Amino acid sequence: MPLVGLVRVAGAALDIAVPSASDRVAGVSMAGFRGRAKDPAAFPVIPYPAITVFIDFGDAELVDDASGERKRGSVVVGMAPGSLRGCGRDIDVLQVRLSPVVAHAVLGASAEPGAAVVALADLWGREAERIRERLWAARSWDERFAVMRTALVRRQEFGRPVDPEIAFVWETMLRSRGRVRVERLTAEVGWSRRRLWSRFRAQVGLTPKRAAMLVRFDHVAHRLAAGQGTARVAAENGFADQSHLCRDVMTFTGMTPRAVAAAPWLTVDDVAWPAQV
């Protein structure tokens, strides 16, 4: 059985399920969310250093406040989604987080991992609907996780991997929590700055500098959500001052650090993604 937690988010009580350790895949995290809100729940989608696949079986939809575009069903959200929020009353969603190193092979080289939202069918064609039907027919979260795991492993096996140098740079960014000089990484992989920028952008979807900023932002967002003060978080994470931290937070979310600290969706992370928090 998957581990299950209960979290209240934006007025909705959510049951959260995650796969058992034996069913997990390197570079992939999955969680299932199910619940019902008295009133339609709404929450901002906080940028995260992974490509996220949402497969919805309820009435949830993703709304881009900048363009007014709405998407439902099976969608892929990039690492820098902009002014995106989720809305819904009947919540029944499988969420999959893919490391960009894995996403390049799983989603296909034609994917744009830095982009906001794209339908999964645009990347997987008819296979996306076939997998959704199998997920819909599954009788438990265990079965849903197994169906998705099989699909991801098969696509990764036949997909095109990222360059080993790109994988090294990305993993170094994660280990350092984004506090690494890209010039040093360029020297370590033996590439020119221009080549690293071009290949990294093509395979990860962001420039190395912005990717490192996003990794650091993610760490900062979770420290703020844990109740740590802005001054302390800024001092311990390499920012020149609080204003510097505020600018970075605003760049990724359009929100103040105080608003990010109160963002409802971050409250589920210690249950849904405990290994990543």
pLDDT in tens, 4-21: 666 666 666 778 899 887
pLDDT (0 to 100) of residue 205: 87
Alpha-carbon dihedral angle through residues 246, 178, 77, 132, given to the nearest 10 degrees: -140
Return d(Cα 131, Cα 151) in angstroms, integer: 8
Return d(Cα 197, Cα 208) in angstroms, integer: 6
Give residue 64's pLDDT band: very low, low, confident or very high (50, 70, 90): confident
Give residue 264's pLDDT band: very low, low, confident or very high (50, 70, 90): confident
For 99, how many CA atoms within 13 A lie in the half-sphere containing its CB?
18
pLDDT in tens, 137-187: 999 999 999 999 999 999 999 999 999 999 999 999 999 999 998 889 999
Mean pLDDT of the chain: 86
Buried b (16+ CB within 10 A) or exposed e, 205-237: bbbbebbbbbbbbbbbbbbbbeeeebeebbeeb
pLDDT (0 to 100) of residue 110: 52
Q: Where in the chain is the domain with CATH 2.60.120.10?
A: 3-160
Q: Is residue 35 scored above 80 in pLDDT?
A: yes
Q: Provide the 10 A C-beta neighbour count for residue 16.
A: 22
Q: Where in the chain is the domain with CATH 1.10.10.60?
A: 164-261
- The reply to whether CATH 2.60.120.10 applies to domain 3-160 is yes
pLDDT (0 to 100) of residue 68: 74
Give residue 239's pLDDT band: very low, low, confident or very high (50, 70, 90): very high
Return d(Cα 110, Cα 104) in angstroms, integer: 9
Q: What is the mean pLDDT of residues 105-123?
A: 75
pTM for the full predicted model: 0.89
Return d(Cα 167, Cα 163) in angstroms, integer: 6
- What CATH architecture does domain 164-261 belong to? Orthogonal Bundle (1.10)
pLDDT (0 to 100) of residue 96: 95
For 170, how many CA atoms within 13 A lie in the half-sphere containing its CB?
23
